[in-house]
Amino acid sequence: MTTADKFKGVLFGQAIGDALGLGTEGMTTEDMAWKYPNGIQHYGQIFQDRHRKRWEIGDWTDDTDMMLCIAEAVIEDKGVNMQNIARHFKEWALGDPMGIGENTYKVLNIGDYVDRPFEVSKKIWEMSKCQSAANGGVMRTSVVGLFPKYVASCAENICKLTHYDPRCVGSCVIVSELIHALVYGEQVPTYGSMIAKSYMYDERIAEYIDKAWKEDDIANLMDDDFMGYTLVTLSVGIWAYWHSTSFVDGLLKVVNAGGDADTNAAVACAILGAKYGFDSIPTEYVEGLIYRDKLEDVTRGLNNILMASR
Ligand SMILES: [Mg+2]
């Protein structure tokens, strides 16, 4: 498996997880049994209820939109400029995007966000009494794992552009560093090193890494009362890395577990794309993405900059 194959696997993995995950987003187990008695395997099966029919079959949602905001800013700057990433987030939010998360919406709609994004993001977090820890940062962090250097500090800062909570920041660093190591063939973080890393951010993270390691059944990670919680998404992502036997195996297990499935699968499948490579992804999932060409362009653009700087 080449680096380029794993690199492409991350970006396509994210988009495919997001696009198929829309099919079960927000569903409980009971709801899924009703709508998908035999589970969901293909985009064409996506149940067209009020929430889902706003998207065309094979479109991805906010998770991949925001990942592309980061990617496009990096391509423009041939490097990382936080203010330009913030500008891309803001422009995207001004387009009244579907599926935008509540915290992200609040932050990006403050008037002078682009001039002082970190202050705005911190203020919104403080207004939640430092309780808000949604998965809007981790859902878009996969691309940061492809950066050649300073992955942890880039993941931290890009997360904080909208999600200031240390649980969000730690989630982004752990996912980005795992992807980076897999793609570039560096020493892959172990269970123990992830636990150690998590304590650098927030002591509440470790329990979720532990669950991801010990639970064989993904259902035991899900919690209908905590849909959209960054630590649930983190645990599902690394669970898929530890417990899946292939890209498709992980994709289908995560999507058919419901909950915040588009985001959980975006994160999990970016990691699986790094582990198994683009070539391991069945073509129907790639060809079914209606904006596949855009993703190809971004992959090429990023590859040119990032691989050249290594
Ligand atoms: Mg989404």
pLDDT of residue 257: 96
* CA atoms of 86 and 58, how far apart (whole Å): 27
Å from CA of 18 to ligand 1 middle? 7
Residues 262-291 as b or e (16 or more Cβ within 10 Å = b) = bbbbbbbbbbbbbbbbbebbeeebbebbeb
pLDDT of residue 308: 74
Mean pLDDT by 10 residues, the chain (310 residues): 96 98 94 95 96 95 98 96 98 92 94 96 96 96 96 98 98 98 97 98 98 97 91 98 98 97 98 98 98 98 83
pLDDT of residue 86: 98
Q: Which two tokens stand for residue 229?
A: 């919680």
Å from CA of 308 to ligand 1 middle? 32
Å from CA of 22 to ligand 1 middle? 7
User: Could you count the other beta carbons within 10 Å of the beta carbon of residue 254?
Assistant: 29
Å from CA of 192 to ligand 1 middle? 31
Q: What SS3 string covers 263-292?
A: HHHHHHHHHHHHHHCHHHCCHHHHHCCCCH
Å from CA of 262 to ligand 1 middle? 5
CA distances from 33 to 23, 40, 207 (A): 13, 10, 29
Contact 208, 183 (CB under 8 A): no
Q: Which of 71, 119, 75, 118 is nearest to 92 (CA)?
A: 71
Å from CA of 209 to ligand 1 middle? 23
